Chains A and B, each alone.
Chain A
């Protein structure tokens, strides 16, 4: 097949290094368009990953505004389900045909796409406006090897979401602040009201707050160390185990776990779940929350070390092979302005990534966003490495076997650790 000669490869790498030294964004096209950005023209395809029905219209409206401002640019809106977008983008991007110009990339995908050369470096380009205004957590997810490859669009994290009425009936006016309180509250709910206290979702991402709470993590990126099998994490897994065995949380289903936990909360069959802002619109459709005031949102309960949850969210990235990079720059810039973020926050309660956006009256007026703002301060950025996406499956399998009683906490982490060593070969 096409095997470049080593010399050619070296030259290519050298050229790459040179262009890197020169600092990104010095491509002539955007420089020319700076004189009058509204004159850029062309056709753009954007892969959006939001829910087409409930969230899509807001983005479509933003596209209309963009096209009004840039009359010579046509944006093709394509909605790709979030669980397929990553795979499809990889397939299309490597072929050089069929990839979109702009993709809404999950925070964890960005470094992976960037490492594979699929994304356009954005430093100094028109796509990034006032980078210092972005929240540090989401912003860190856009960097790879010191360069910027995306612009944060929305952010999120996990919180404790609860049914105020059930907690009150169990004698708790306030949501639990620590894991110990969580267990007690859950047991009280079960004893006094007969429904489940806490519904767990068997998913790796939802395990992270427990690990962070004990001071654990999956990787130590700075030292290139795999730290998943640590005493802190063993303690965290014991905590989860204990929540189930003590009856604070009923034994969760491992398939459809998310949907079942959500349904339990919506129908008043469980008092508390861990979930993020994206779930709110669905929760409000539940019969327990016809009165929105019955829904409580609090930071995740603290472990013995701290209260912390993972940073999630979405970035906008530009395909390096795009034929319309200047127009794509303008589009990404437009979609991440304070105004655009405020509109998104106001209409569909997704959290802005710009610090200044939280001072916008539209954002302040949205109670869900307002509630999540302080919780975001406790969010922990995940290791933004290209292999990041591969870390979840081993952990999920471990979590499933823990819940199924097939392996104990220490056992399970040992297995996860082994699998991580297979993925991250040169890590210690």
Chain B
């Protein structure tokens, strides 16, 4: 029932609604435009991306996709990337959650140093100091190894995710933990069975973040994975664009193909985002 004087929460005047939609549509247009152009370019013949005329379509075909899938090592790269990103996601979420929880709940000696250490690792301009890192990886025998790369990605993804998870855990009322303790659960039990399920939105964001970090990273992957059959998508794709030549057909087609799994992970994770959302809504 909509009363004439006060609208219940969640209802808006038609003008406000129109404004909201207009704002979001504009944002969507900006965020989509380059992506749409990417897709359109991927459908054009290989050299027409740089052409004097502005055209939406130009002999559209799936040729570039066929070439990517059959004439390059794309499937191998995809497999490597899926393994790397998947492992990074699972391990990253787990480590970030435990660390975030420990720091959020327990005032153990050193808990503040932990947060600081995590923060400092993010300040380190790794691009400049890649050589000692390479030597270290070489010394540990982790070059050209997917686990090695996953470990390297942990250093990028986990600090942020741990911070993020700490923030989420901070918003989960402590009474819930106490109730769990009263029920006889160990601290790990409380974390695993009670608090973790409640932090689903945070985990969703963290998982997506970990996945995307590993999925789109090229710096480490280029240096650490020089063997051809160990390359990830990001490294492989760089073969299509050189200094004095470029195959935009292959590049754009594989970029589109790369974005699809990322989108799939997002859709998967998004369901949990919505679950968190509706949980909040039903509470009211």
Contacts and interface: CB of A to CB of B under 8 A. Distances in A.
Interface of A: 51-53, 76-84, 88, 91-92, 94-98, 100, 258-260, 263, 266-267, 269, 278-279, 282, 285-286
Interface string B215-251: 0000000110011100000000011011111110010
Contacts of A279: 244
Q: Pick the 7 closest A-B CB pairs, nearest first.
A: A97-B138, A83-B243, A95-B138, A263-B50, A78-B228, A95-B135, A98-B143
Contacts, number: 71
A91 B133 CA distance: 10
Given A81-B242, A263-B50, A269-B52, A98 B226 contact: yes
B266 interface: no
A98 B144 contact: yes
B238 A263 contact: no
Contacts of A77: 228
B245 A51 contact: yes
B144 A81 contact: no
26 contacts: A51-B245, A53-B71, A53-B72, A53-B247, A76-B228, A78-B228, A79-B228, A80-B226, A81-B243, A83-B242, A88-B223, A91-B131, A92-B134, A94-B135, A95-B134, A95-B135, A97-B138, A98-B134, A98-B138, A98-B143, A100-B226, A258-B243, A267-B52, A269-B52, A278-B245, A279-B244
Contacts of B245: 51, 278, 282
Contacts of A269: 52
A97 B223 CA distance: 12
Contacts of A80: 226
B238 A81 contact: yes
Contacts of B131: 91, 94-95
Which of B144, B223, B245 is most buried by chain A, counting CB atoms within 10 A of its CB? B245
A278 B71 CA distance: 22
A5 to B, nearest CB: 22
Interface in B234-284: 238-239, 241-247, 250
A285 B130 CA distance: 40
Interface in B24-62: 47, 50-52
Given A76-B227, A263-B50, 8 more contacts: A51-B245, A53-B71, A53-B250, A80-B226, A82-B244, A84-B238, A95-B138, A282-B245
Contacts of A76: 227-228
Contacts of B50: 259-260, 263
Contacts of A258: 243-244
Contacts of A92: 134, 226
A260 B52 CA distance: 10
B143 A263 contact: no
A266 B245 CA distance: 13
> By CB atoms of chain B within 10 A, which of A77, A96, A97, A285 has the most?
A97
Interface string B134-154: 110010000110000000000
Given A81-B242, A263-B52, A285-B47, A96 B138 contact: yes
A282 B242 CA distance: 13
A91 B244 contact: no
A46 to B, nearest CB: 11
Contacts of B135: 94-95
A78 B144 CA distance: 13
B52 A82 contact: no
Nearest to B73: A52
B246 A82 contact: no
A206 B109 CA distance: 62
A279 B242 CA distance: 12
Chain A CB within 10 Å — which of B51, B72, B228 has the most? B228
A82 B227 CA distance: 16
B134 A259 contact: no
A29 B52 CA distance: 58
Contacts of A282: 245
A260 B131 CA distance: 35
